[in-house]
Amino acid sequence: MVELVTRNHWWPGIMKEVKRYVEGCDQCQRIKNRAEILAGKLWPNQIPEKLWQHISVDFITKLPVSKGHDSILVVCDRFLKMSYFVATTKKTMAEGLARLFRDNVWKLHGLPESVISDRGLQFAAGMTRELNKMLGIETKLSMAYHPEIDGQTERTNQELE
């Protein structure tokens, strides 16, 4: 970008100003090539054989407040590709999220064998650790910034947004 700008223009501090512009440009950040090496070896997810056997869970946050809710809990069945969208708030703690999950998904489809989630603090630490231990569910956490691990939920989030 600096090379393109300096073809026709120059002023003191041009490098710093172009860098600041690019860092604040939404489109520039979306199409930017990432030079970082991916963290860890990726393993393929288990292929589901029946409905609601393996699910993925994510959150959409920082939404405009509507009826007291500012976030959405997204739950996807990896076999059927069916999704549930549950209104919540970003301040909902682990117990509240477990209750939302139980009341909106488990009551209709029973217990899954595995849950994929990239929400370490909310899901792994509080809600799923205790709940899954009690119910015998294996928790599988995906790594942040690896959409290829949990692309289905990420694509569903884009459609909903």
What integer pLDDT is reported at residue 83 of this predicted model? 94
pLDDT tens-digit series, residues 87-136: 999 888 777 888 888 889 888 998 888 888 876 555 656 666 667 776 77
The residue extents of the domains of the chain are 2-31, 54-160
**Distance (Å, whole) CA 159 – CA 42:** 25
Q: Name residue, tokens 């009551």.
A: 107
DSSP state of 103: I
In the three-class reduction of DSSP (H, G, I as helix; E, B as strand; rest coil), residue 102 is classed as helix
What integer pLDDT is reported at residue 134 of this predicted model? 67
pLDDT tens-digit series, residues 21-69: 888 888 877 777 766 666 677 778 888 899 998 988 888 888 999 999 9
Question: Is 0.75 surpassed by the pTM of this model?
Answer: no
The answer on pLDDT for 19 being more than 80 is yes
pLDDT tens-digit series, residues 89-99: 988 877 788 88
What integer pLDDT is reported at residue 2 of this predicted model? 84
Distances (CA, A) of 51 to 5, 18, 84: 55, 51, 14
Q: Which amino acid is at 85?
A: F
Architecture label for domain 54-160: 2-Layer Sandwich (3.30)
